[in-house]
Amino acid sequence: MTDKISVSGAIAAALAGLLAALLIIPIWGILATVIGLQPNILPVAIACAAGLGHGVAYSVLTSLQIRKNLRALISTATGVTVFLALSRGMPFGLPLENAGLFWGGGGALISFIGVEFIVRSSLDGLAIGKFTRDDTELLFLRTLRLYGFAFFIVIVAAPFYYMIVSSFKKRAELLIDPLDLSLNFSQGFQSLFVGYWEVIVNFNFGRYILTSGFVSLTTVIVTLLLAVPGAYAVSRLRFPGRVLMSNSILLIYMFPAIVLVIPLYSVFSQLGLRDTLVGLLIVYPAATLPVTLYMLQGYFRSIPSELEEAGLIDGCSRVGIIWRITLPLSVPALASVSIYTFMIAWNEFLFAFMFLDNPEIFTLSRGIVSLNSSEVPRQFLMAGAVIVTLPVMIIFLWLERFMVAGLTAGSVKG
């Protein structure tokens, strides 16, 4: 840094420090809360003051042209000191020694190292000497980004973390401190997993897992058997009505499932198909076919038709061509479609809920609804929720590439 820092630069640094502390200190406080410490104040004002101090120290040291590492050391120390001094050695109203080193002094140190890191990276490359409009906006956008990331990570991760933790928490533990979201490993493996054990053994979830798996896989197979020829016809063969077909495929998706339920419920009841898996296996492929057709026909179209023409000239039949040429070339699309279909069938709730009354043939979604009663501990229901979520998540993380392609094609479906 060659320029001396200007007034606007100093204000920017101070502001960056303040905003960083305003983000980090509450996160620290909430983390302390959910591991079972019981803080009772969220020191917002103190955090702001300490962040401000940190930022001012940073800008003064910059204008004195102190080396980066020393600057970091001094400004972090300033932040920690101001914070601990203003909170009178009791961050969040907890005595330092009671709260433990990590959540006391150590926590403050980690927090202000975080502040230092944020201040440095948000001022990185900005002409701190003469702060221009671009610099101001960039600083603003960088701070917004920081808050944005924190916001999204919290809103997405918090419910899932809560789901997992609740599945390990006994009712008594919840009563003692509902805010304690730490896992108590000391009680032993068996006691920790009691919710899963109960649900799988006593509430028959082992069977539901198999049923859900069977229904989902069969849906995938039936959908593919129907969709591959259909999509091939729309994309490759010429016939009257082809344009109409390919335009109206997705229109089907605009009809809400709940209004299909009344007639299907009525007719299936009278045909004796309602409380059966066969009934579900008729509905599910129909629900996934439009997107599957749409996606596959798009993919088939992208395969050069010369390859197939060569096969035709060599005397291969159409069916032979699909089997030997088109399908092997379409493996990525088939994978996406299969995963998408599997996910829709696995997650499906409405039809399973409306159709199935017999506990012997419940799918997981339907089984979880039956756990939603005041007699069943919440822990069991959450264990069920984790069980139904886990396979989708594993498949998702494992095959994210295909999954994203399937989701974007299937996006029309909500």
Partner 1 sequence: MSLKKMTMRQKEVMLAYGMLIPPVTIVFLIVLFPVLADIWISFKDIQLADLRAPTPSVSERVSEDPQNGTVTVLYRLRNRSSRGAVEDIVLRDTVPAGLSARDVPQFCEIDEDAITCSYEIWPPRFREDISILFDATPEFFASGINPRDSETTTTGHSVNALLDFNFTLDNFRKVFSQREFWKSVRITVIYTVFGTIGAIALGLFAALLMNTSFRGRAVIRGLLLFPFVAPVIAVAFTWVFFLDPFSGVLNMLLVRYELVEAPINFLGTRVMPIELFGFVVQFPVALATVIAFEAWRYFPLSFLFILARLQALPSDIYEAADIDGASPIQKFRFVTMPQLVGILSILFMLRFIWTFNKFDDIFLMTGGNAGTRTLTVGVYDQAFALSNLGAGAAVSVVIFFMLAIFMVFYFIFMPKGEML
Q: How far is the CB of 85 from partner 1 (least distance, A)?
A: 22
SS (H, E, C) 3-71: CCCCHHHHHHHHHHHHHHHHHHHHHHHHHHHHCCCCCCCCCHHHHHHHHHHHHHHHHHHHHCCCCHHHH
Q: How far is the CB of 189 from partner 1 (least distance, A)?
A: 24
In the block, tokens 């039809």 appear at: 351
In the bound state with partner 1, the residue whose beta carbon lies nearer, of 99 and 181, is: 181
Q: How far is the CB of 336 from partner 1 (least distance, A)?
A: 13
Tokens matching residue 206: 């082992």
In the bound state with partner 1, the residue whose beta carbon lies nearer, of 102 and 149, is: 149
Q: Helix 331-347 and helix 277-302: axis angle, to 10°? A: 150
In the bound state with partner 1, the residue whose beta carbon lies nearer, of 113 and 282, is: 282
Q: How far is the CB of 45 from partner 1 (least distance, A)?
A: 13
Q: How far is the CB of 20 from partner 1 (least distance, A)?
A: 17
The percent helix, strand, coil of the chain (3-state, each to 5) is 80, 0, 20
In the block, tokens 């709940």 appear at: 258
In the bound state with partner 1, the residue whose beta carbon lies nearer, of 204 and 347, is: 347
In the bound state with partner 1, the residue whose beta carbon lies nearer, of 92 and 112, is: 92
Give the amino acid at 356: L
CA angle 389, 391, 397 (to 5 degrees): 100
Q: How far is the CB of 66 from partner 1 (least distance, A)?
A: 29
Give the amino acid at 233: A
In the bound state with partner 1, the residue whose beta carbon lies nearer, of 193 and 265, is: 265
